[in-house]
Chains A and B, each alone.
Chain A
């Protein structure tokens, strides 16, 4: 059977994503090679290393030969061994350094995403349904504020308010140092520490989801099928559910894909401010330590994460919007 409908759609999207990832990998290589100066010196940062060691490193990391040779070597290492390079600052392979911190970031981001999407779309839908009321005005102003203020600024504000003045939440790290907690107490400790950094990310996210859902709801309510549903005598609550919401959430799903880049920035900022040991803070510490291999690896990880997230969102959207799923009129 011809590849129509969803299968065709999915295959096209996936191939495009894979191609993009490949291009990103190439770009990632060239950005760092474009640095004026000696890449090895940059990677080392330690002037005490002997000339022989340096030469060894040149060979080992495929820095000999022409740029093309180096490129091929880089691709080889990446695809055959999953080797993202070596961090001299931390004395460990980049992949290991990054992988050890990914779970903490995921913990933070996924929780934030769930809370923000649930609350944000709900509030946004109500605000859209009740456009023009006092409730609506308050919600937009607050959401616009939450959306515009950078995450690290919000993080610092929360740090001062909750950490310093109210003293409720711990202001840094993931666990209370030296406490040696286990089991349930450990989980509780982590959650307590997670509250503020997660909150900083959530704040921005909610702002955005409220705004997008509200706008989407307003657009939907202008449509003729809403009047048409009223002309059928359908109850208002049913109209909200079946006609308004069902159509209003479509753009909200798309937005989730675009958001990932913002989420990345938010994660970097929030983890840095609160010292949360994830890949966000890793960016900060790598910048401070001039640990370029790790930075390069992180860049790749984030870029791939964005492409993947966009792909997943595209596929989900393609599934829930009948105009794409069934594909085309008569």
Chain B
């Protein structure tokens, strides 16, 4: 039994014009020793899907179907109180670097002790000591616990976010675009930190990103999302070596290599489909270099092929 099993998850946005199928029947799982990287373009639904794991659905979005089974229990059928207790302690999340994820009028130490006090019975002194330790753990001096968020740089704020998220030893950690918007040196430092923590605590991680190199550095398993659907899942190395789905192929090819010949930059022409009235057949078909007639008529189903799971008519 995997730690987390997401089955047939559907999340729709109900606007005046109709239902937008932001996440349309996706399934994936995460095991104790895995790091799942979820990759896709902006708007493909990856963040929406992962937020649902903590049962976050911003209106007008609603989770309309599927199961999210964490440690054997379906999150979607838990009571509000049970979900609340799960958050921060069973499953924890670190938000995007660019976001305002830290309360500007609370010092960082208190933002850490806050989550500790919520889930454990400790004295104020103990909690504060732990907060300091958490900061040290992510590479920030414990003396800075009294500082306020605006006194930190973007990369350091991310570290604080990680310190807060890991404070109660969660069993699953979610990182939403952890290095987007940070410069490359800081990116590397942060990713190293993430890898260290993962090894030290054997922490399963779900990582959302649109940047292939981040996946390459951190993930053991990859799921590629497009227009609300998962088009391919495989372990990271297989995906890079032999991408099965045309979209995955293009994504990997689009990423320029530092080594080797200078070539033309490849991009994927076109844009993802609107999800209000999605096209018939395969969603990727309008932009797909390998499109066949059947792609215009029927949606492909997920099949297994050489250790990958792909949704493409090329494979049966």
Verify whether A and B have any Cβ pair under 8 Å.
yes
Q: A326-B151, A330-B151 are in contact. Are A234 and B114 (CB under 8 A)?
A: yes
Please state if B105 and A247 are interface contacts (CB–CB under 8 Å): yes
Please state if A223 and B118 are interface contacts (CB–CB under 8 Å): no
In the bound complex, residues from chain A placing their C-beta under 8 Å from that of B148 are 322-323, 326
In the bound complex, residues from chain B placing their C-beta under 8 Å from that of A52 are none
Instruction: Give the tally of cross-chain contacts (CB within 8 A).
Output: 85
Please state if B56 and A228 are interface contacts (CB–CB under 8 Å): no
Q: Is there a chain A Cβ closer than 8 Å to B214's Cβ?
A: no
Which residue of the partner chain A has the closest CB to B144? Answer: A330
Which of A224, A231, A238, A246 meets B54, CB within 8 Å?
Answer: A231
Please state if A225 and B103 are interface contacts (CB–CB under 8 Å): yes
Q: Is there a chain A Cβ closer than 8 Å to B106's Cβ?
A: yes
Give chain B's interface residue range (CB within 8 Å of chain A).
20 to 34
Which of A233, A247, A326 meets B103, CB within 8 Å?
Answer: A247
Q: A246-B105, A247-B103, A322-B148 are in contact. Are A233 and B86 (CB under 8 A)?
A: yes
Give A287 Cβ to nearest chain B Cβ, in Å: 46
Q: Is there a chain B Cβ closer than 8 Å to A4's Cβ?
A: no
Please state if B56 and A230 are interface contacts (CB–CB under 8 Å): yes
In the bound complex, residues from chain B placing their C-beta under 8 Å from that of A247 are 103-105
Cα–Cα, bound, A233→B90 (Å): 10
Q: Is there a chain B Cβ closer than 8 Å to A130's Cβ?
A: no
Please state if A229 and B103 are interface contacts (CB–CB under 8 Å): yes
In the bound complex, residues from chain A placing their C-beta under 8 Å from that of B161 are 228
Interface residues of A in 137-160 (CB under 8 A from B): none
Q: Is there a chain B Cβ closer than 8 Å to A13's Cβ?
A: no
Q: Which of B32-40, B91-99, B241-249 contacts A (4 or more CB under 8 A)?
A: B91-99
In the bound complex, residues from chain B placing their C-beta under 8 Å from that of A91 are none
Q: A224-B101, A242-B106 are in contact. Are A233 and B89 (CB under 8 A)?
A: yes
Q: Is there a chain B Cβ closer than 8 Å to A111's Cβ?
A: no
Please state if A231 and B103 are interface contacts (CB–CB under 8 Å): no
Which residue of the partner chain A has the closest CB to B84? Answer: A233
Which residue of the partner chain B has the closest CB to A223? Answer: B100
Interface residues of B in 63-109 (CB under 8 A from A): 84-89, 92-93, 95, 99-107
Q: Chain A 267-306 against B: per-residue CB contact (8 Å), 1 yes, 0 no?
A: 0000000000000000000000000000000000000000
Q: A224-B95, A224-B101, A247-B105 are in contact. Are A232 and B114 (CB under 8 A)?
A: yes
Q: A223-B100, A323-B148 are in contact. Are A231 and B56 (CB under 8 A)?
A: yes
Q: Chain B 280-306 against A: per-residue CB contact (8 Å), 1 yes, 0 no?
A: 000000000000000000000000000
Q: Is there a chain B Cβ closer than 8 Å to A176's Cβ?
A: no
Which of B54, B84, B102, B150 meets A329, CB within 8 Å?
Answer: B150
Please state if A233 and B151 are interface contacts (CB–CB under 8 Å): no
Q: A224-B100, A231-B56, A246-B106 are in contact. Are A330 and B152 (CB under 8 A)?
A: yes
Please state if B153 and A330 are interface contacts (CB–CB under 8 Å): yes
Please state if B86 and A329 are interface contacts (CB–CB under 8 Å): no
In the bound complex, residues from chain A placing their C-beta under 8 Å from that of B56 are 227, 230-231
In the bound complex, residues from chain A placing their C-beta under 8 Å from that of B153 are 329-330
In the bound complex, residues from chain B placing their C-beta under 8 Å from that of A231 are 54, 56, 87-88, 92-93, 95
Give A224 Cβ to nearest chain B Cβ, in Å: 4
Interface residues of A in 309-330 (CB under 8 A from B): 321-323, 326, 328-330
Q: Is there a chain B Cβ closer than 8 Å to A53's Cβ?
A: no
Cα–Cα, bound, A234→B83 (Å): 11
Q: Is there a chain A Cβ closer than 8 Å to B311's Cβ?
A: no
Q: A230-B56, A326-B151 are in contact. Are A225 and B100 (CB under 8 A)?
A: yes
Which residue of the partner chain A has the closest CB to B105? Answer: A246
Please state if B150 and A232 are interface contacts (CB–CB under 8 Å): no
Q: Is there a chain B Cβ closer than 8 Å to A41's Cβ?
A: no
Q: Is there a chain A Cβ closer than 8 Å to B119's Cβ?
A: yes
In the bound complex, residues from chain A placing their C-beta under 8 Å from that of B106 are 242-243, 246
Q: Is there a chain B Cβ closer than 8 Å to A48's Cβ?
A: no
Main secondary structure of the interface of B (DSSP, over half): loop
Q: Is there a chain A Cβ closer than 8 Å to B138's Cβ?
A: no
In the bound complex, residues from chain A placing their C-beta under 8 Å from that of B89 are 233
Most buried by B among A225, A230, A231, A250: A231
Cα–Cα, bound, A233→B99 (Å): 19
Q: Is there a chain A Cβ closer than 8 Å to B164's Cβ?
A: yes
Q: Is there a chain A Cβ closer than 8 Å to B115's Cβ?
A: yes
Q: Is there a chain B Cβ closer than 8 Å to A235's Cβ?
A: yes
Q: Chain B 95-135 against A: per-residue CB contact (8 Å), 1 yes, 0 no?
A: 10001111111110000001100110000000000000000
Which of B102, B105, B119, B152 meets A233, CB within 8 Å?
Answer: B119
Which of B84, B114, B152 meets A242, CB within 8 Å?
Answer: B114
Q: A223-B100, A224-B99 are in contact. Are A321 and B115 (CB under 8 A)?
A: no
Cα–Cα, bound, A238→B148 (Å): 19
In the bound complex, residues from chain A placing their C-beta under 8 Å from that of B100 are 223-225
In the bound complex, residues from chain A placing their C-beta under 8 Å from that of B150 are 322-323, 329
Interface residues of A in 237-252 (CB under 8 A from B): 238, 242-243, 246-247, 250
Q: Chain B 136-151 against A: per-residue CB contact (8 Å), 1 yes, 0 no?
A: 0000000000011011
Cα–Cα, bound, A232→B147 (Å): 20
Interface residues of B in 137-188 (CB under 8 A from A): 147-148, 150-153, 161, 164
In the bound complex, residues from chain A placing their C-beta under 8 Å from that of B86 are 233
Give B91 Cβ to nearest chain A Cβ, in Å: 9
In the bound complex, residues from chain B placing their C-beta under 8 Å from that of A230 are 56, 87
Please state if A228 and B105 are interface contacts (CB–CB under 8 Å): no
28 A–B contacts, CB within 8 A, in A order:
A223-B100, A224-B99, A224-B100, A227-B95, A228-B93, A228-B102, A230-B56, A231-B56, A231-B95, A232-B88, A232-B92, A232-B115, A232-B118, A233-B89, A233-B115, A234-B118, A242-B106, A242-B114, A243-B103, A243-B106, A321-B105, A322-B107, A322-B148, A326-B148, A328-B151, A329-B153, A330-B151, A330-B152
Give the 9 A-B residue pairs with the shortest CB-CB distance, closest first. Answer: A233-B88, A233-B87, A232-B88, A224-B99, A232-B115, A228-B101, A225-B103, A231-B93, A322-B148
